[in-house]
Amino acid sequence: MELVSEVTVELVKHSASDSDVVWAARVSTAGEKSLAAVGQDAERARGLINFLMRDRHGSPFEHNSMTFFVSAPILVFREFHRHRVGWSYNEESGRYRELRPVFYVPGPDRKLVQEGKPGQYVFTEGDETQHKLVGEAMERSYRESYAAYQEMLAAGVAREVARAVLPVGLFSSMYATCNARSLMHFLSLRTKDERGIVPSFPQREIEMVAEKMEAFWAELMPITHAAFNANGRVAP
């Protein structure tokens, strides 16, 4: 059994650049002449991109694509799959393969204690005793549940039935494909950033995924990313 505190995000393929925003926007006023902007350096169009972001003209930000490979605990995917518009997913299946014993345990920097009532709570650091308890309790539960899973498989029980005993701390993997507009909406909800004008309260584990995705996107579309930050991290 493997206990893991980090998530994995890899950029598998992409067709995404700042110039994609420019030619998609300019077709509205230039028609076929907008073809000249395809593949051009978008630096001279920084003001246009910022205008589109500021005034929430969103469709030009959809003409691009990024595909990520994500490995994270199932509890992350439960939240991730709420993002449906502009996203496509394919996840590994417990019906068709024997699931590997890789489980999530929070790292030492993960805040453990929730204080306050729903909608007004904050998370604070856990002490050494609490971190020890979390690690030991999770490992014990994981070992017991995976042993039960293996016992059923050995007895000939179908994988799709046996998997029911496995917890949401089990790691799964998926491909997730999106465009910049759908990614910005995801980031606005799943990251907590002082530049954001809309309050966001993400669970730390999905925020870890979001941060890694954002880092890749910022390299692919730096002007668009800068405009997103400058305009309150709100999807156009």
Per-residue tokens: 142: 């994981």
User: What token pair was written down for 234?
Assistant: 């709100």
Distances (CA, A) of 154 to 7, 97, 100, 170: 30, 14, 15, 20
How far, in Å, CA of 156 to CA of 154, rounded?
A: 5
Helix (H, G, I), strand (E, B) or coil at 126: coil
Instruction: Select which of 26, 181, 190, 233 is catalytic.
Output: 190
Q: Assess whether 56 carries a catalytic annotation.
A: no
Yes or no: say if 72 and 165 are a contact pair by the CB < 8 Å rule. no
* 100: helix, strand or coil: coil
171 forms bridges with which residues in the sheet? 73
CA distance 75 to 81: 11
- CB–CB of 200/188 below 8 Å? yes
Cite the DSSP H helix spans in the chain.
Answer: 18-30, 46-54, 74-80, 128-154, 159-162, 180-190, 204-220, 222-230
C-beta pairs of 119-126 under 8 Å, 24+ apart in sequence: 123/204
**Unique residue bearing structure tokens 């549940």:** 145
The set of catalytic residues is 190
